[in-house]
């Protein structure tokens, strides 16, 4: 029995039925990591010892009938942007090489309190800046569908770990699409919850007003299970929402019944058309037809300000990031580089040398952009203007959700591109987040569900479902329905069509 | 640079400065709140703990850590705002003030920028008018906003304690994140020759208000209340504002006055020499009474403020604000008038009391069971003298109103006279215990027992036969000399009234 091929929900059942122990499961995933991660490079750090200890404790609890949660004993991988007490946290940056945080992020604490063995920390674009995981200081992650291609970014490590069966569940973070876009290009499910739905405490901030942690899984139901576990109010994060959320698992189970009668679906006019890969659009159009066949009412909806979302995003993000990254000053943690040829360097000289060596090009680029955008005399023209656009985008959503229950679009305009292809063209790289960014600006939730394989390259494409703030349950209802309908059409999960990795036993 | 070294610049006299220029002042007072926990995390705020023992990921600015606002600090900020007659914002935010400094963990300070919690207030400051009558000067408050304190750096190895020449530097982050309220005045114009006096009176009265509100220890010597003095001069009668300097580290009430006076004279000297004033930060030196140049503050300094995205806006409900208004202490001006009437103090006595910062102390001493005159005598006589000698404030001496009242009770009971009471205060300052314990341990009680006094009186008469004869002849006034002799023998501990009676009895 290859446990690594099962969904988390199936593993929960197998554990409950006594067919497998958590130690066996954890061992199976650790073996898979040992077998294939040399090619995929999804992990920056693997904690076999810690994961097995947690698994042993879980098995003991199960024997005593004292489970901590539904997912007790199911292993998980965590993006390296969340702090883990006693485990390295690098954010994909040299500047944090060797840093071991003294505390757990709230999400990590919740995973530990729920009894999930943490397999390790996954690779990412440095400080989550990028759409391809090529900006990691520790080298790129490879897409399990084609090792010469990118796994998406910035959470390419988490998506690739799940897509290559190295982990059944993973945690990602989504600032402009970093959960959903990697999900789309690796054939996995990725959810960006409502802003404030999952605590940001311990999430090393890229852009505080946009960042949101969420699940990366193989199925919609698995995401719902994980989302319920990590969500909820956290007094340590004052932006976290104190209200109770509806049940996501319940919504996913309803959706799996493939009935969308009475659901009004809006297709966003601005997120389709020229520049979108035909194979991606074909899969999207088919998915929309399936929704109609399941009883959904589909209408075209215009969100006219979405065309400005990218520009606003690339002002707000660097502005906040430039301030967040100021703390990396070589004084208290992480890397410290002494300038060459200076006898008694000043604090400023040490800071300069450390940052020069410790930050990558993309990070430096965005710090400069952000510093400029916040400078006196430019604030109103750039940051202030971007915030106004943000308000307009939120109004577009409000107007659209007055008409429809959910909005849909392809998650990313193309399938995975080749490693290195867009590395020298930051603007082309940024275009990948075109469809995902509006939800971050508005604080609304979104999910990416695999929509099939593009005809021209045989690579996965994603369908994005967007809902109003606090209505995350709609993502699970519609997402689970689309997933079930597509499985029926494709004769199984899309991820099962991924090529077996070289050197891995079948 | 102006080309003028401030240490070699001849200051012009204060009077001369005023002949040609009008001063404009701005005062920025930082108050460290006495909340139990820090502004944005749950760390304790106790003063004087071992370095870096009161820290957590949030106040250390570790990657991933986030702030959450301390409700008690917001409450204190609102109460201060209300007491300063400010409007309280219905909705305001924190902002990030971005700059690099080693004692600032995140390299930005979480503060309030264009949206302070309190704004548009005033404080009526009472000073002595030209005719000796109390006169009120209104100081307008621009804003009172919330922010966090920074850590403290210690430079080790250099001769001066400054960073230059130091071998290494240590940082203590215990203070990082302690809540601060910064109270900023509008430019204070029209103060003319009263500017130094008004500055001191404003800070004094503000400090009294803070103490009365119970929101801070307001100890200038411990830095829990700190004043920055902005000053500029404009040509007389033009009503404008000149280039200003900001003098930091002004750490006593007396220094506020001195710093304003010094900067007025220095500005005038620089302007008279044909140079212009540099907009800069200056440091105040308590020992020499001068300011020296700090870093230059130019337009190049850009804090890149933007709203703190990790914190939700602060939106105090009107009900809460009104509830807090109900907790305010009595208006200081009204309170003063009431107390003056109750205590029967003259205008002069009251002014001296307020000037010495003794109002609250006297009030508490009276509450502990003494007469107003007795309380005033001890605080303005004895304590003010001692504070002056040791260069501190009277409430920082370490003698409490309760102790003063206890000493006075011993005087009233005839156990002590004033001279002996002063020795009890010596004992209190040396930490020798309660007044009663000190009287017992030092053997200070007055002797009124006729046996012991009689022997001393006999000795005095025997030693001064001439004086005794005069008294026998009816010159009763001469008894003073014999009383003095008895006192000397009894080391001041004789009951003077009884001694006089015994002398007159024996020589009748």
Average pLDDT of every residue of chain A? 96
Measured between alpha carbons, how far is A113 from A199 in angstroms, rounded to an integer? Answer: 15
Q: Do residues A230 and A194 make contact, with C-beta atoms less than 8 angstroms apart? A: no
Indicate yes or no: CB of B106 within 8 angstroms of CB of A376.
no
The ipTM, to two decimals, is 0.95
Q: What is the mean pLDDT of residues B480-486?
A: 86
Indicate yes or no: CB of A238 within 8 angstroms of CB of B102.
no
Q: Does A302 touch chain B (CB under 8 A)?
A: no
Least confident of A150-154, A159-163, B292-296: B292-296
Of A239, A323, A375, the CB nearest to B96: A323
Q: Does A201 touch chain B (CB under 8 A)?
A: yes
Q: Which tokens is A290 given?
A: 């399936």
Average pLDDT of every residue of chain B? 89
CA distance A209 to chain B (A): 5
Write down the pLDDT at residue A242. 94
3-state secondary structure (DSSP) of residue A34: helix
Q: Do residues A499 and A145 make contact, with C-beta atoms less than 8 angstroms apart? A: yes
**Backbone dihedral angles phi then psi of residue B156, each to the nearest 5 degrees:** -110, 135
Cβ contacts (< 8 Å) between A103 and chain B: which residues? 57, 62, 64-65
Q: What is the mean pLDDT of residues A285-312?
A: 97
Exposure pattern of B351-377 as b/e (b: 16+ CB <10 Å)? bebbbbbbbebbbebbebebebebbbb
* Span B267-315, pLDDT tens digits: 999 999 999 999 999 999 988 999 998 865 545 579 999 999 999 999 9
Cβ contacts (< 8 Å) between B107 and chain A: which residues? 326-327, 329
Bridge-based pairing state of the strands B134-148 and B118-128: antiparallel
Indicate yes or no: CB of A371 within 8 angstroms of CB of B304.
yes
Least confident of B34-38, B166-170, B380-384: B166-170
Beta strands in B329-435 (DSSP E): none
Q: In this model, does residue A23 exceed pLDDT 50?
A: yes
Cβ contacts (< 8 Å) between A326 and chain B: which residues? 98, 100, 106-108
Bridge-based pairing state of the strands B280-285 and B245-250: parallel
Cα torsion for A6, A9, A10, A15, to the nearest 10°?
110
Q: Judge if the upstream peptide bond of residue A154 is cis by omega within 30 degrees of 0.
A: yes
* Residue carrying the six token digits 């009233």: B412
DSSP bridge partners of A299: A266
Write down the pLDDT at residue B300. 54
Q: What is the mean pLDDT of residues A307-312?
A: 96
Of A101, A209, A326, the CB nearest to B309: A209
User: Which residues neighbour B477 within 8 Å (Cβ) at sequence distance 6 or greater?
Assistant: none
Of A105, A238, A329, the CB nearest to B312: A238
Q: In this model, does residue B7 exceed pLDDT 50?
A: no
Write down the pLDDT at residue A506. 43
Write down the pLDDT at residue A503. 63
Short-list B431, B356, B407, B354, CA closest to B386: B356
Indicate yes or no: CB of A375 within 8 angstroms of CB of B64.
no
Measured between alpha carbons, how far is A361 from B490 in angstroms, rounded to an integer? Answer: 89
Short-list A412, A136, A106, CA closest to A284: A412
Indicate yes or no: CB of A201 within 8 angstroms of CB of B64.
yes
* Span B107-133, pLDDT tens digits: 999 999 999 999 999 999 988 777 777
DSSP states along A375-424? STTTTIIIIIHHHHHHHHHHHHHHHHHHH-SEEEEESSSSSPPBTTTTTT
What is the helix (H) or strand (E) element at residue A264, kind and residue range?
Answer: strand A264-268
Indicate yes or no: CB of A333 within 8 angstroms of CB of B311.
no
Burial class from Cβ neighbours inside 10 Å (0-12, 13-18, 19+) for residue B262 reads buried
Q: Do residues B36 and B45 make contact, with C-beta atoms less than 8 angstroms apart? A: yes
- Higher confidence at residue B235 or residue B460? B235
Q: Do residues A197 and A234 make contact, with C-beta atoms less than 8 angstroms apart? A: no
Q: Which residue of B has its CA nearest to A384?
A: B306
Write down the pLDDT at residue A422. 92
Q: Which tokens is A357 given?
A: 């060596």
Indicate yes or no: CB of A371 within 8 angstroms of CB of B57.
no
Q: What is the mean pLDDT of residues A469-473?
A: 97
Write down the pLDDT at residue B443. 80
- Higher confidence at residue A270 or residue B451? A270
Cα torsion for B213, B207, B90, B95, to the nearest 10°?
-130
Report residue B452 CA to chain centroid gap.
47
Kindly indicate the confidence band of residue B165, based on its pLDDT and cuts at 50, 70 and 90. confident
DSSP bridge partners of B147: B180
Write down the pLDDT at residue A98. 93
Indicate yes or no: CB of A238 within 8 angstroms of CB of B108.
no
Of B62, B107, B311, the CB nearest to A333: B62
What is the helix (H) or strand (E) element at residue B144, kind and residue range?
Answer: strand B134-148
State what percent of residues in chain A have pLDDT above 90: 93
Q: Which residue of B has its CA nearest to A330?
A: B102
Q: Does B306 touch chain A (CB under 8 A)?
A: yes
Measured between alpha carbons, how far is B228 from B231 in angstroms, rounded to an integer? Answer: 10
């Amino acid at each position: 029995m290859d446990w690594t091929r099962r969904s988390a929900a199936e593993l929960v059942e197998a554990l409950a039925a006594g067919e497998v122990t958590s130690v066996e499961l954890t061992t199976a995933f650790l073996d898979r990591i040992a077998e294939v991660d040399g090619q995929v490079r999804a992990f920056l750090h693997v904690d076999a010892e810690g994961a097995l200890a947690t698994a042993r404790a879980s098995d003991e609890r199960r024997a005593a009938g004292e489970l901590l949660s539904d997912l007790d004993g199911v292993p998980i991988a965590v993006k390296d942007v969340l702090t883990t007490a006693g485990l390295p946290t690098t954010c994909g940056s040299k500047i944090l090489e060797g840093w071991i945080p003294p505390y757990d992020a709230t999400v990590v604490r919740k995973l530990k309190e729920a009894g999930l063995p943490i397999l390790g920390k996954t690779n990412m674009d440095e400080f989550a800046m990028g759409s391809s995981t090529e900006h990691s200081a520790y080298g790129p992650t490879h897409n399990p569908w084609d090792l010469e291609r990118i796994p998406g970014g910035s959470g390419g490590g988490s998506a690739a770990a799940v897509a290559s069966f190295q982990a059944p569940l993973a945690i990602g973070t989504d600032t402009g699409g970093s959960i959903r876009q990697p999900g789309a290009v690796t054939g996995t499910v990725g959810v960006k919850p409502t802003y404030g739905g999952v605590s940001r405490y311990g999430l090393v901030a890229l852009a505080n007003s946009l960042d949101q942690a969420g699940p990366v899984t193989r199925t919609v139901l698995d995401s719902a299970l994980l989302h319920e576990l990590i969500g909820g109010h956290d007094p340590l994060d004052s932006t976290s929402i104190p209200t109770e959320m509806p049940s996501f698992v319940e919504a996913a189970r309803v959706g799996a019944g493939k009935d969308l009668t009475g659901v009004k679906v809006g297709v966003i006019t601005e997120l389709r058309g020229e520049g979108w890969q035909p194979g991606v659009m074909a899969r999207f159009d088919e998915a929309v037809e399936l929704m109609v066949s399941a009883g959904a009412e589909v209408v075209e909806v215009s969100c006219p300000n979405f065309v400005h979302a990218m520009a606003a995003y690339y002002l707000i993000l660097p502005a906040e990031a430039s301030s967040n990254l100021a703390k990396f000053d070589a004084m208290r943690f992480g890397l410290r580089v002494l300038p060459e040829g200076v006898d008694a360097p000043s604090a400023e000289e040490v800071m300069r040398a450390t940052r020069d060596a410790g930050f990558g090009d993309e990070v430096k680029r965005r710090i400069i952009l952000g510093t400029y955008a916040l400078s006196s005399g430019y604030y109103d023209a750039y940051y202030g203007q971007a915030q106004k656009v943000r308000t307009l985008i939120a109004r577009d959503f409000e107007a659209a959700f007055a008409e429809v229950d959910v909005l849909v679009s392809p998650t990313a305009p193309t399938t995975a591109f080749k490693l290195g292809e867009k590395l020298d063209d930051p603007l082309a790289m940024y275009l990948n987040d075109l469809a995902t960014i509006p939800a971050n600006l508005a604080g609304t939730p979104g999910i990416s569900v695999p929509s099939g394989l593009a005809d021209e390259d045989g690579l996965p494409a994603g369908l994005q479902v967007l809902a109003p703030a606090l209505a995350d349950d709609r993502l699970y209802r519609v997402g689970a329905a689309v997933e079930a309908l597509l499985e029926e059409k494709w004769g199984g999960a899309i991820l099962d069509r991924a090529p077996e990795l070289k050197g891995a036993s079948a | 640079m102006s080309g003028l070294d401030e240490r070699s610049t001849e200051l012009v006299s204060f009077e001369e400065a005023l002949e040609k220029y009008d001063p404009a002042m701005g005062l920025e007072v930082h108050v460290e709140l006495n909340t139990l926990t820090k502004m944005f995390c749950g760390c304790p705020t106790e003063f004087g703990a071992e370095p870096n023992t009161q820290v957590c990921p949030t106040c250390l600015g570790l990657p991933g850590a986030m702030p959450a606002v301390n409700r008690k600090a917001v409450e204190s900020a609102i109460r201060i705002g209300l007491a300063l007659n400010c409007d309280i914002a219905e909705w305001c935010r924190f902002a990030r003030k971005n700059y690099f400094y080693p004692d600032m963990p995140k390299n930005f300070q979480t503060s309030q920028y264009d949206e302070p919690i309190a704004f548009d207030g005033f404080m009526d400051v009472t000073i002595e008018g030209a005719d000796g009558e109390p006169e009120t000067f209104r100081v307008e408050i621009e804003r009172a906003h919330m922010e966090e304190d920074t850590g403290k750096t210690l430079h080790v190895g250099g001769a001066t304690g400054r960073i230059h020449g130091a071998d290494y530097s240590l940082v203590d982050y215990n203070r990082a994140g302690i809540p601060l309220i910064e109270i900023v005045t509008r430019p204070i114009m029209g103060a003319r020759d009263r500017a130094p006096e008004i500055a001191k009176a404003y800070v004094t009265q503000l400090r009294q208000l803070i103490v009365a509100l119970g929101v801070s220890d307001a100890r200038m010597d411990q830095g829990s209340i700190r004043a920055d003095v902005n000053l500029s001069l404009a040509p007389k009668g033009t009503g404008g504002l000149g280039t200003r300097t900001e003098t930091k580290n002004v750490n006593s009430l007396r220094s506020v006055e001195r710093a304003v006076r010094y900067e007025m004279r220095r500005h005038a000297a620089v302007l008279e020499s044909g140079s212009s004033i540099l907009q800069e930060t200056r440091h105040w030196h308590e020992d020499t009474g001068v300011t020296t140049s700090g870093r230059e503050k130019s337009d190049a300094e850009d804090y890149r403020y933007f709203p703190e995205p990790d914190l939700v806006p602060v939106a105090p409900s009107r009900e809460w604000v009104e509830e807090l208004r109900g907790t305010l202490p009595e208006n200081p001006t009204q309170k003063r008038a009431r107390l003056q009437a109750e205590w029967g103090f003259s205008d002069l006595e009251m002014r001296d009391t307020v000037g010495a910062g003794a109002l609250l102390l006297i009030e508490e001493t009276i509450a502990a069971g003494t007469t107003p005159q007795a309380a005033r005598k001890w605080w303005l006589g004895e304590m003010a003298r001692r504070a002056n000698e040791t260069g501190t404030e009277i409430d920082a001496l370490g003698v409490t109103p309760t102790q003063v009242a206890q000493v006075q009770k011993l005087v009233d009971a005839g156990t002590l006279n004033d001279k002996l009471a002063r020795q009890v205060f010596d004992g209190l300052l040396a930490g020798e215990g309660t007044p009663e314990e000190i009287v017992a341990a030092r053997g200070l009680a007055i002797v009124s027992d006729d046996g012991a006094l009689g022997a001393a009186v006999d000795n005095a008469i025997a030693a001064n036969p001439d004086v005794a004869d005069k008294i026998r002849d009816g010159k009763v006034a001469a008894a003073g000399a014999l009383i003095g002799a008895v006192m000397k023998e009894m080391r001041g501990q004789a009951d003077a009234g009884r001694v006089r009676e015994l002398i007159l009895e024996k020589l009748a």
